[in-house]
Amino acid sequence: MIYLQLFWSFLQIGLFSFGGGYAAIPLIQGQIVERHSWLSMPEFPDLITIPQMTPGPIAINAATFVGIKIAGVAGALVATLGCILPSCVIVTLIARLYLKYRSMALLQGVLASLRPAVVAMIASAGVSILISAFWGGALVSFAATNWVMAAIFALSVVLLLKCKLDPILVMVLAGVLKLAAAAAGL
């Protein structure tokens, strides 16, 4: 039964995660944390962080991670298959249709109208992860803010946008800073 649940959950994620990995984060959270409780909300940022440090799409890496945690290697295979199956079918169909009808104004209008929804999904995921990182999923308040995480976030934004550092280097630096803060008792 767990294999069917894993397959069905990740099939839904794969089917409705338009806009790529970041847009899939709210869908992954809904299935993994809220519906099935396979991970807790404090564990959820780890599910997003680990796929960021490994090659491949977020949703597929998340499927593999959750599948292994819940049902071992077989669970990882079932969850990953559920996640990639819709994309394989949909991309094949869309590619054929796009090549045939790419000059139609209606098709271009539909594609343009999806962009704001995708941006909203990405923003929603970002806000959810920020709340989890800064407040541990608790009530958002000034007193409950994890200022170490907020400082690491601010520094990371500056290093990425202003200094144009490589994202992997920034992630490693953020990890080192968090370890140093934990060692210092912060």
Which two three-digit tokens encode residue 105?
């104004």
Q: Minimum mean pLDDT among 34-38, 108-112, 145-149: which range?
A: 108-112
For residue 85, the model assigns a pLDDT of 94
Question: Per the domain annotation, does 173 fall within a domain?
Answer: no
Amino acid at position 144, single letter: A
Statement: residue 54 has pLDDT above 80: no
Length of the chain measured in residues:
186
**Per-residue pLDDT tens digits for 67-98:** 999 999 999 999 999 999 998 998 899 889 88
Which two three-digit tokens encode residue 5?
């649940």
Tokens 């000034």 belong to residue: 142
Question: Per the domain annotation, does 124 fall within a domain?
Answer: no
Question: Per the domain annotation, does 136 fall within a domain?
Answer: no
Question: Per the domain annotation, does 95 fall within a domain?
Answer: yes
**43 three-class SS:** coil
Which two three-digit tokens encode residue 186?
């912060």
* CA gap 66, 72 in Å, rounded: 9
User: What percent of the chain is modeled with pLDDT above 70?
Assistant: 98
What is the count of structural domains for the chain? 1
Question: Per the domain annotation, does 175 fall within a domain?
Answer: no
Question: Per the domain annotation, does 103 fall within a domain?
Answer: yes
Domain that holds residue 57: 2-113
Question: Per the domain annotation, does 74 fall within a domain?
Answer: yes
Question: Per the domain annotation, does 148 fall within a domain?
Answer: no
